[in-house]
Amino acid sequence: MTSEPRFHQTLDRANSDVVLIVDDVPDNLSVLHDALDESGYTVLVALDGVSALQRAVQALPDIVLLDAMMPGMDGFEVARQLKLMPQTAHIPIIFMTGLTETEHLVAALEAGGVDYVNKPLKPKEVLARMQVHLQGARERRQARSALDAFGYASITVRVNDGRLMWQTPLARELLMRYYGTDAPTTPIPVLTWLRRHVAKGLGGVEPPRLSTELGPKRLSFRLHQQIGDSEGGGDWLIIMQEVSDESVIEAMALCFKLTPKEAEVLYWVVKGKINRDIGDIVGSSPMTVKKHLERIFAKLGVETRTAAAGMAMSRIRQLHPQFEG
């Protein structure tokens, strides 16, 4: 059993950023390696494109310094491959190139590079450029970690091809639980919702949120902001949050002096479910659900499920204004 997928966990990320240098000329690697090492970075190297991809997936570096022209797989293709993989798509890439023609520089940026430095390399210039992009990447990581810590998750979806480009650990867990999908696959309902609103044009107004239910829990999606190039619809950062209505069920039990099972049945009545569906959800027969409802009606002093739902909704809204009936 290989331990490669966890290789990045062994790197000293607490005290230094991890840099992957990719260049087929050993002398170039040596000069940069020494300069970065002296500046406190953890330095990894690769001599060709295939090795670069393997190292990037294994180590998940904080930034990649990538030679544009290499035999075999060139730097442009390496960058494209890195941007296609969800686990590496967020890593900033700085191209190192001796090509100064505009078309080559444009190609580097279109392949996913955030910047470029010209050869022969000047280590101080490389360090300065790296600091700019590392700071931005560090701030984005911290923001995403904070979102996860407060129960929010985030994903980045590319509109034109529908790829899920990036996801926080919490987002991965939620998407798998609600949709059974994982990056780079974006759940169809989420992609449809995103494309519909992007096609309409947002005009600075946040579109209606998407919501999907799983038992007494629901997952909501909020379109946060566009990031990167707008060509083809661009990449969009989407914020997700799971809300549980278990507290609503508990509140109904206390307010109306219901048993836990009666409160759960009343919850699904409020949600508009019929007895057969409620039975399937709570694990009872439709006849048992009917008996629960009879007791609920007696405790609430009503005669119909519509009246019971209306009374329950009124009380819930007082206690839980965010509840969606």
Confidence at residue 111, expressed as pLDDT on a 0 to 100 scale? 86
Confidence at residue 112, expressed as pLDDT on a 0 to 100 scale? 85
C-alpha–C-alpha distance, residues 223 and 208, integer Å:
9
Question: Is there a contact between 234 and 146 (Cβ–Cβ < 8 Å)?
Answer: no
Instruction: Tell me the residue type at 50.
Output: V
Closest CA to 240 of 225, 228, 226, 223: 223
Q: Are 67 and 188 in the same domain?
A: no
Confidence at residue 13, expressed as pLDDT on a 0 to 100 scale? 52
Six token digits for residue 169: 């650990």
Number of domains within the chain: 3
Confidence at residue 170, expressed as pLDDT on a 0 to 100 scale? 87
C-alpha–C-alpha distance, residues 198 and 160, integer Å:
11
Q: Are 162 and 73 in the same domain?
A: no
Confidence at residue 186, expressed as pLDDT on a 0 to 100 scale? 93
Provide the phi-psi class of 70: left if phi over 0, else alpha when psi is between -120 and 50, else beta: beta
**Domain final position from 244, 260, 288:** 244
Confidence at residue 325, expressed as pLDDT on a 0 to 100 scale? 57
Confidence at residue 101, expressed as pLDDT on a 0 to 100 scale? 67
pLDDT tens digits, residue range 221-256?
988 877 765 555 678 889 988 877 787 788 888 888
Q: Which domain holds residue 53?
A: 4-141
Confidence at residue 144, expressed as pLDDT on a 0 to 100 scale? 66
C-alpha–C-alpha distance, residues 187 and 184, integer Å:
10
Domain assignment present for residue 232? The answer is: yes
Q: Are 240 and 251 in the same domain?
A: no
Q: Are 181 and 223 in the same domain?
A: yes
Domain assignment present for residue 161? The answer is: yes
Q: Are 136 and 62 in the same domain?
A: yes
Pick out the chain residues at pLDDT < 70.
1-15, 100-101, 143-151, 202-204, 228-233, 319-325
Q: Residue 293 maps to which CATH number? A: 1.10.10.10
Q: Are 203 and 259 in the same domain?
A: no
